[in-house]
Structure 1
Amino acid sequence: MNLLVIGTRGSPLALIQTQSIIDRLKQEYTDLEIKTKIIKTTGDQLCDYEHLEAIQQRGIFTKEIEKKLLEAEIDLAVHSLKDLPVEMPQGLEIAAIPPREDPRDCWVSLHYPHPDGLEPGAIVAVGSPRRANQLLRKRPDLRVVPIRGNVETRLKRLRENKEWMGTILAIAGIKRLGIDLSSFFCTPLGMDWMLAAPGQGALALETRQGDKRTKDLVQFLNDFPSACEVCAERSFLYELGGGCRAAVGAMAKVEGSKLVLYGIWWPEGSLRPKEGKVVGQIQEAKKLGQELAHLLKKL
């Protein structure tokens, strides 16, 4: 039976991302039957993510999907790579990384085009230690409050809360959802302001090890430069022992045959970050991530 069963979360963004993969597969294999299985994860069950301690767990948006993959209830899982823990479960592997969307974060505000124009004491709603720490590093005079939920929820809360002067979101999610931000200022943040989460903007197509059929089906979707960039970023995160909630930012860029990796890290309990960059051959992506982590640990 020429059937491929794909597992995904049921969020609007997850469904759009999965559909983009289905469309590419159907273009490539006109006789392939594809079914989608929506799987509710721990992260989805936490609703608006008020349970902050639970959010610290790794894999809250992926482990239930990976369980179905290991049990062969699905053949392929489509993940936002930044949600996928850097320690892969035994028996699973990333089979392909499609071309990456813009990995940067952007500043979103109803009133201010950039956070450097905020008044001292202005309140900014951010959803991760990585974003909060980097913002306060540039503007220690600002107040930061937590915000949870998907992109639409965060924008709704920003509209409703008149005390909040802005928030920071991933450009990739906004683009994929096709959200109209014409009533907002939406300004991409340069690396001097904000290094993204490792793997941000990339999708991961996960399969069972040894499932040659599925791996062969999705291989044409793999984008080598994107795969090298996220490999370096995830290697950097892994060596630092961090998860998706760690105060770690990373950005790798392919420049010809070279790979440049920038990283910033707040060790637990530290008020000051450690940061740096390394340059090497594109084929040495994993090694470069390790090298940068070891460099920052010595600072």
Structure 2
Amino acid sequence: MKREFIVGSRRSKLALTQTKWVIRELKKHYPEVDFKIQEIVTKGDKILDVTLSKVGGKGLFVSEVEDQLADSTIDFAVHSMKDVPSKLYEGLVIGAIPKRESPFDVLVFREVNQLADLPKGALIGTSSLRRSVELKRIRPDLEIRSIRGNIDTRLRKLEDEQFDAIILAEAGLSRMGWLDESHLKIERLSAEIALPAVGQGALAIECRKTDIALLEMLASIHDSDTAFTVQCERKFLETLNGGCEIPIAGFAEKGAADSLFFRGFVADADGSKRLSVEKTGTEPELIGQEAARELLDQGAKQIIQELRHD
């Protein structure tokens, strides 16, 4: 095995924090191995003046990283799973999926402490169509405005741009150690209020499928339960051919005896059409595929095509 590995990471504080966490976990099993972080700026990091849905396309936050994996500039990369397209670059593989953090979204408030206390017409910041659709379903009176940038940038904009609240992934705040910050007013949004994005809260460690020794090393931090649920969610997304320009959610929970409970939806941009599905079973990919096909039969294909055309 190599003595040093080059690890690709986006430049944001959260991405680097996640990468350093993975390195620390690997060092517990392989203390003799060294790791060097290669910072990479992606298309999604560069284009900050438009909503993610309008930038469109797949792999906004991973394509440049996969280029460096493919040409062997880096050895492996750490991604947020929700950013990873269902189809990977030729010759690449997800080598490990560590234990999942919270998959849920949270509201971070400027003044109040919970969603019910927000005044009528309150201004909410999010660049996610999925989050917008889910929140407006519960509170149609709210005004949604796009907010882009890294997690720390968005927290700053909460104050500077006078949002009443912004929506973030709980996992990001947790990994940054900010969940217990006394000055942050936070409410977790349950799956009944806001169904999570596919893979939210999980990390994906991507490498070349020919790097057998590296794959054996990465297996030391792989979590089979997380992989079990994420496999279902990603098959759902792949079958729908979804992307960040479509309001899509998919969330699988593992029960007893390898059972799975999956919930998903596809909606149009304003949430006036929202097609939902629930499935249970024991075969992750089959559940995800069947759930997606049920939505396609309900009319999801037309919704997705119209959103892409627009």
TMscore range, shorter length: over 0.9
SS at 2:199 equivalent? coil
- Specify whether residues 113 and 260 from structure 1 end up closer, same or farther in structure 2 by C-alpha distance, changes over 3 A only: same
Query: What count of residue pairs does the alignment treat as equivalent?
Result: 294
The aligned counterpart of 1:102 is 102
* Cα distance in 1 for residues equivalent to 2:33 and 2:134: 46
- 2:140 aligns with 140
Residue 195 of structure 2 contacts residue 249 of structure 2 at CA under 8 Å; is this kept in 1? yes
Question: Matches of 2:269 and 2:17 in 1, distance apart?
Answer: 35
Displacement of 1:2 after TM fit? 2.2
How many angstroms does 1:54 deviate by?
6.3
TM-score normalised by length of structure 2: 0.90
- Aligned residue runs from structure 1 range 19-34, under 5 A: 19-34=20-35
State how 1:141-160 maps to structure 2 within 5 Å.
141-160=141-160
Q: Which amino acid aligns with 2:229?
A: E
State whether residues 129 and 247 of structure 1, in contact with CA within 8 Å, keep that contact through their aligned partners in structure 2. yes
Query: Which residue of the partner structure matches residue 165 of structure 2?
Result: 166
In structure 2, list runs of 5 or more residues that go unmatched: 299-310
C-alpha distance 15-115 of structure 1, shift in aligned 2 (>3 A): same
Cα offset, 1:269, TM superposition: 8.0
Is 1:205 aligned to residue 205 of structure 2?
A: yes
Q: Work out the CA distance in 2 between the residues paired with 1:268 and 1:146.
A: 13
Three-state SS of the structure 2 residue aligned to 1:152 is: helix
Aligned-residue offset at 1:290: 0.7
Aligned equivalents of 2:54, 2:74: Cα separation in 1: 26
- Cα distance in 2 between the residues matched to 1:221 and 1:24: 7
Runs ≥4 residues deviating over 6 A: none
RMSD over aligned CA atoms reads 1.7
How far did 1:117 drift? Answer: 2.9
Report the identity percentage. 35
Which stretch has the larger CA shift, 114-123 or 189-198? 114-123
Question: Conserved in 1, the CA contact under 8 Å of 2:279 and 2:291?
Answer: yes
Shift of residue 270 of structure 1?
6.5
Whether the 8 Å CA contact 2:70–2:92 is kept in 1: the answer is yes
Q: What corresponds to 1:259 in structure 2? A: 260
Which consecutive unaligned segments of at least 5 residues does structure 1 have? none
Counterparts of 2:271 and 2:170 in 1: how far apart (Å)?
29
Could you report, residue by residue, the CA deviation over 1:73-132 in whole angstroms, capped at 9, with x for unpaired residues? 111111111111111111111111000000100111122222233232222112210000
Q: TM-score, normalised by structure 1?
A: 0.93
Please say if residues 82 and 244 of structure 1, whose CA atoms lie closer than 8 Å, have aligned partners that are also in contact. Answer: no
Q: Tell me, yes or no, if the aligned pair for 1:111 and 1:184 is still in contact at 8 Å.
A: no
Q: Is the Cα–Cα contact under 8 Å of residues 128 and 244 in structure 2 kept in the other structure?
A: no
Residue of structure 2 equivalent to 1:276 = 277
Change (3 A) 1:270 1:196: closer
Q: Distance in 2 between matches of 1:54 and 1:194?
A: 22
Q: Which range moved further: 287-296 or 111-120? A: 111-120
Q: Is the 8 A contact 2:26 2:220 kept in 1?
A: no
Match of 2:294 in 1: 295
